[in-house]
């Protein structure tokens, strides 16, 4: 098991390098001159040339990449000119808030999605199946930002059950209860699409598994139908559900950007959109690399979970 | 076209199609409609509610007519979403075909790149691209298309690899066609359905994503608005004038939902596996629909008494009568062999006893199965469950598929015990070790923590037998337990079963197609053909003097040890299809001794001697040696 985790960690290195190359190339595509973008169109040519030298932009592309990579490996992601603070500090602070939101949403969509898929498959063509199928269709069709706005309108403005926006109360204690009140609506809004996708897949994975011989064996043993569904069939279906959970984690993590905007959540997605609109390239670059790297590591965790669940992978 | 007909039969997909057609039509004729100009501001008339005079849906924060902006916005969103989908599909398919067609290093290099792109959280990559290109609708389109290219490339590559090594492609290569022509004439036509499915399932996403980027202010720029930026602009007035948000939001929802319905319909129509309805899950117990009075138990001393059992499969309006009225008695401590060709209905008979026939499509339509004086057909699920594995246990054919691959054999044995007896886990585990020892698994205490894939086929079947023995059942139903094993292992398993039944006084219903196995194990034998018993009696008597021509022919198919010079007999023809059985004897079409009486009316199973019966108007003379 230990060697499996080590191999997977080592295999992440080329992926992470690839990610950094892609981000670097995308940023190198930027038309025009970043120095002009930073200094504005009234900058003198001397100032532009100086800033270009300071930023290392006068060097060849390959050399620039390795300088950038070397700096990142030392924890130096550069300075955000719009916020005038180190990129890493800003991203680390914002990423915490995003993780709270996306993590909660991920737990909700995994639990709810798998449960809905299992119930739907076990009651195929029944009333529960039809209701779930319809809800799932609605869930995967509604834009999360529109859903979030409607939730604010109904549950925060009209029913006054939850705060309208933000992560913490402006006045008052920053305790778990306050966080939970602020978290409920955005986490739900963020989880809806992924819940639908997971439920769909879980349903078809379960239908596939329920026809297999070992399910008949379990029934022949006299195992109660609950055990047949949840212990035998679901365990086998999880093998094909877990990779999808990994993919959906990526959707939840990056889809958080819409929810962060709608609910004024101080996360990394909102930071990125602001940075893009202000053309703060270093902040975008650093934010994208860090979030993507975290996602790669999360996917390794998913693979390890997969191998724990399926003894056939380990050997 | 059958594809369109299939699509039309799916009512939801049809609804999606109709809605999409209406939306597209509206979008097309928008420039011709007598609408207010979408970009003319009139700040005196801001935020007018829906159904105001001159503004059916009201006005937005700049006093612009919402209906007009909605239609123009829909037009833009559809155009951009579709353009992104087509771009992604064309580029992705091109990359996928090149990778799949050339294979080797080209493939390796391209797919590595694709995997890298897929390692990104999706929207993050789109954001990075927009960040580089700058906000704008065209750039949002490029970003969304680019992000979706890997998905298409990977799908299409998979299909292309499958096709690139088919004979017709090799033939085209040998005939000297250029690569480009092969791709265009041989590969592309086979890949198009996959592209269509992939597009139909992703175009909704792409409309959502471009709307999303516009919502963030990174897509369409004022004063032009697509649905996403309409929603983004309305957000500031969400609380005071919610209708300005609801109008564009609901439109996105309607469009995406219609596309998803349609996409599901297209996928179902193009994916043959879903078409056949093969993805039905079996119910916990076989459905029962008996239309005739329930027969009483006939066999007086029998432990398990099957009377007039009828099981059929109902598939797409056709009815396959797999079991057409079977009577069998199993007495305590007796081994009854049920013999027949594949498709004769012997397995379905065995599975019907405990309601384990997959249902749908299986339905038990008649007869009774009395166990211990109780009719199991139509019994409550809980009654069946209590008997399953506790008093009547099964051993199945292929232990590779019948054991759960992800649990250790110990866990599965313990579960079998604890399903019926509330014993502590440790005690059940000790009993499981004993069971593994009883079926001659060496080093049982260590083996108990093995997974099925770590055992050999013979060992797995021993586990299957141990599981059947777990609760000391009265009856074991063994459904071809040795068929999947090689010959030496077969002999060991049979010897083990024989020993166990004598030691424990088990009754066994043994299903097989092999008369050699019957001779070794069974006290009595019943021969089945086309869903009915054609001959039954003591094993010795039937083996030495078969009365039904079918039995005789079936026995002649078994190679005799030492008789290597004999030409192995086969029975010409095939068994009749059980959805269209002939009148009279089902074997008449393949029988050498067929007479006119064989093709008329109902031929009954008549007693031949005190303990034998045969379903034949002209049975072979008892006493005639087997040919």
Q: What is the pLDDT of residues A217-231, one digit of tens each?
A: 999 999 999 999 999
| pLDDT mean across residues, chain A | 88
Q: How far is residue B88's CA from residue B65's CA, in Å, rounded to a whole number?
A: 34
Between the two ends of chain A, the Cα-to-Cα distance in Å is 9
pLDDT along chain B (627 residues), means of 10: 67 88 92 83 80 79 86 93 94 92 89 85 86 88 93 90 85 85 86 85 89 92 89 88 91 93 81 57 87 72 88 86 90 91 89 90 90 87 92 88 92 94 93 91 91 90 91 92 82 87 90 88 92 91 88 78 62 79 84 82 84 86 51
Please tell me the least confidently modeled range out of A84-98, A262-276, B118-132, B327-341. B118-132
ipTM over 0.85: yes
In this prediction, residues A138-155 reach a mean pLDDT of: 94
Nearest C-alpha in A relative to B119: A296
Instruction: Give the CA diameter of chain A.
Output: 84
Token reading at A278? 């202000």
pLDDT (0 to 100) of residue B623: 46
- Decide which of A31 and B169 is more confident: B169
Nearest C-alpha in A relative to B251: A142
pTM, two decimal places? 0.88
Best of A32, A211, A220 to substitute, by most chain B Cβ atoms within 10 angstroms, is A220
Nearest C-alpha in A relative to B388: A222
**Could you tell me the pLDDT band of residue A189, with boundaries at 50, 70 and 90?**
very high
- Decide which of A162 and B293 is more confident: A162
Restricting to A residues 259-288, those with a Cβ less than 8 Å away from any Cβ of B are 261-262, 272-273, 275-277, 279, 281, 284, 288
Domain A97-280 architecture: Orthogonal Bundle (1.10)
Q: Could you tell me whether strands B318-330 and A85-86 are parallel, antiparallel, or unpaired per DSSP bridges? A: unpaired
Domain ranges of chain A: 97-280
pLDDT (0 to 100) of residue B627: 44
Say how many CA atoms lie within 13 Å of A128 toward its Cβ: 12
Best of B131, B415, B417, B461 to substitute, by most chain A Cβ atoms within 10 angstroms, is B131
Contact between chains at B415 and A223 (C-beta distance less than 8 A):
yes
Domains of chain B: 10-26+63-274 (1.10.3720.10), 304-522 (3.40.50.300), 552-614 (no CATH)
- Report DSSP letters for B308-338, one per residue: EEEEEEEETTEEEEEEEEEEEEE-TT-EEEE
Nearest C-alpha in B relative to A29: B132
pLDDT (0 to 100) of residue B275: 46
In this prediction, residues A171-186 reach a mean pLDDT of: 88
- Report DSSP letters for B248-309, one per residue: HHHHHHHHHHHHHHHHHHHHHHH-HHHHTT--PPPPSS-EE---SPPPPP--SS-SEEEEEE
A206 and B CB contact within 8 Å: yes
The residues, any chain, with a CB within 8 Å of residue B408's CB and separated by 6 or more, are B448, B449, B450, B451
- Partners of A221 on chain B (C-beta within 8 Å) are 388-389, 393, 415-416, 419, 467, 470
Instruction: Give the CA diameter of chain B.
Output: 111
In percent, the amount of chain A with pLDDT more than 90 equals 46
**Could you tell me the pLDDT band of residue A105, with boundaries at 50, 70 and 90?**
very high
């Amino acid at each position: 098991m230990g060697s499996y985790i080590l191999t997977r960690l080592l295999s992440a290195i080329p992926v992470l390098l690839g990610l950094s190359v892609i981000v670097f190339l995308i940023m190198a595509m930027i038309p025009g001159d970043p120095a002009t973008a930073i200094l504005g169109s009234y900058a003198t040519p001397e100032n532009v040339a100086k800033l270009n030298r300071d930023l290392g932009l006068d060097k060849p592309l390959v050399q620039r990449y390795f300088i950038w990579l070397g700096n990142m490996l030392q924890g130096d992601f550069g300075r955000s000119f719009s916020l005038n603070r180190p990129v890493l500090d800003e991203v680390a602070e914002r990423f915490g808030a995003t993780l709270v939101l996306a993590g909660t949403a991920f737990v909700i969509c995994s639990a709810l999605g798998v449960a809905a898929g299992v119930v739907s498959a076990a009651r195929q063509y029944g009333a529960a199946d039809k209701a779930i199928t319809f809800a799932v269709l609605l869930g995967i069709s509604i834009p999360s930002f529109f859903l979030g706005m409607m939730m604010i309108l109904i549950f925060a403005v009209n029913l006054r059950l939850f705060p309208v926006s933000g992560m913490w109360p402006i006045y008052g204690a920053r305790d778990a209860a306050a966080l939970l009140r602020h978290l409920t609506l955005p986490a739900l809004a963020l989880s809806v699409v992924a819940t639908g996708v997971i439920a769909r897949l879980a349903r078809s994975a379960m239908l596939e598994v329920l026809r297999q011989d070992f399910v008949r064996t379990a029934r022949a043993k006299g195992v109660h139908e609950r055990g047949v569904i949840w212990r035998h069939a679901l365990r086998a279906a999880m093998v094909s559900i877990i990779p999808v959970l990994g993919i959906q984690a990526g959707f939840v993590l990056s889809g958080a950007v819409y929810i962060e905007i709608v609910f004024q959540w101080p996360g990394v997605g909102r930071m990125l959109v602001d940075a893009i609109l202000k053309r703060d390239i270093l902040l975008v670059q650093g934010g994208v690399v860090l979030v993507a790297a975290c996602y790669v590591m999360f996917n390794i965790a998913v693979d390890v979970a997969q191998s724990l669940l399926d003894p056939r992978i380990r050997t | 076209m059958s594809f369109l007909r299939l699509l039309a039969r799916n009512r939801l997909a049809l609804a999606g199609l109709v809605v999409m057609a209406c939306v597209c039509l509206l979008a097309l004729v928008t420039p011709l409609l007598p609408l207010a100009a979408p970009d003319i501001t009139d700040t005196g008339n801001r935020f007018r509610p829906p159904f105001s005079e001159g503004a059916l849906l009201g006005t937005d924060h700049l006093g612009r007519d919402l209906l007009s902006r909605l239609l123009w916005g829909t037009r833009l969103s559809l155009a951009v979403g579709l353009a992104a989908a087509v771009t992604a599909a064309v580029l992705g398919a091109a990359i996928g075909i090149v990778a799949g067609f050339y294979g080797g290093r080209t493939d390796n290099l391209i797919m590595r790149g694709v995997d890298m792109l897929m390692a990104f959280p999706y929207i993050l990559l789109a954001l990075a691209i927009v960040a580089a290109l700058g906000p704008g609708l065209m750039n949002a389109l490029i970003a969304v298309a680019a992000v979706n290219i890997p998905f298409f490339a990977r799908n299409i590559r998979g299909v292309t690899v499958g096709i690139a090594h088919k004979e017709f492609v090799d033939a085209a290569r040998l005939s000297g066609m250029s690569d480009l022509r092969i791709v265009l004439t041989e590969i592309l036509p086979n890949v198009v359905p996959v592209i269509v499915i992939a597009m139909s399932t992703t175009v909704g996403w792409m409309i959502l994503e471009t709307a999303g980027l516009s919502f963030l202010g990174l897509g369409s720029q004022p004063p032009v608005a697509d649905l996403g930026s309409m929603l983004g602009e309305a957000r500031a007035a969400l609380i005071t004038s919610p209708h300005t948000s609801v109008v564009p939001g609901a439109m996105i929802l309607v469009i995406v939902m219609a596309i998803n319905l349609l996409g599901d319909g297209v996928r179902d129509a193009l994916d043959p596996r879903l078409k056949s309805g093969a993805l039905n899950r079996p119910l916990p117990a076989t459905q029962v629909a008996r239309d005739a009075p329930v027969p009483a138990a006939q066999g007086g001393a029998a432990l398990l008494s099957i009377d007039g059992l009828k099981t059929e499969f109902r598939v797409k309006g056709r009815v396959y009568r797999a079991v057409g009225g079977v009577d069998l008695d199993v007495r305590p401590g007796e081994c009854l062999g049920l013999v027949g060709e594949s498709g004769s209905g012997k397995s379905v008979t065995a599975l019907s006893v405990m309601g384990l026939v997959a249902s749908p499509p299986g339905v038990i339509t008649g007869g009774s199965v009395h166990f211990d004086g109780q009719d199991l057909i139509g019994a409550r699920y809980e009654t069946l469950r209590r008997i399953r594995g506790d008093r009547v246990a099964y051993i199945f054919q292929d232990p590779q598929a019948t054991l759960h691959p992800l649990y250790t054999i110990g866990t599965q044995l313990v579960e079998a015990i604890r399903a019926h007896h509330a014993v502590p886990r440790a005690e059940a585990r000790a009993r499981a070790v004993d069971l593994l020892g009883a079926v001659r698994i060496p080093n049982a205490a260590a083996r108990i923590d093995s997974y099925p894939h770590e055992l050999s086929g013979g060992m797995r079947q021993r586990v299957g037998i141990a599981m059947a023995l777990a609760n000391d059942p009265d009856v074991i139903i063994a459904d071809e337990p040795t068929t999947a094993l090689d010959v030496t292992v077969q002999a060991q398993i049979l010897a083990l079963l024989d020993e166990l039944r004598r030691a424990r006084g088990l009754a066994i219903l043994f299903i097989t197609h092999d008369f050699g196995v019957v001779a070794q194990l069974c006290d009595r034998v019943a021969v089945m053909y086309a869903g009915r018993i054609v001959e039954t009696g003591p094993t010795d008597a039937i083996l030495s003097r078969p009365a039904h021509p079918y039995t005789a022919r079936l026995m002649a198919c078994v190679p005799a040890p030492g008789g290597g010079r004999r030409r192995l007999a086969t029975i010409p023809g095939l068994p009749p299809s059980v959805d269209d059985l002939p009148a009279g004897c089902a074997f008449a079409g393949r029988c050498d001794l067929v007479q006119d009486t064989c093709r008329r009316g109902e031929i009954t199973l008549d007693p031949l001697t005190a303990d034998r019966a045969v379903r034949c108007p002209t049975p072979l003379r008892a006493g005639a040696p087997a040919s």
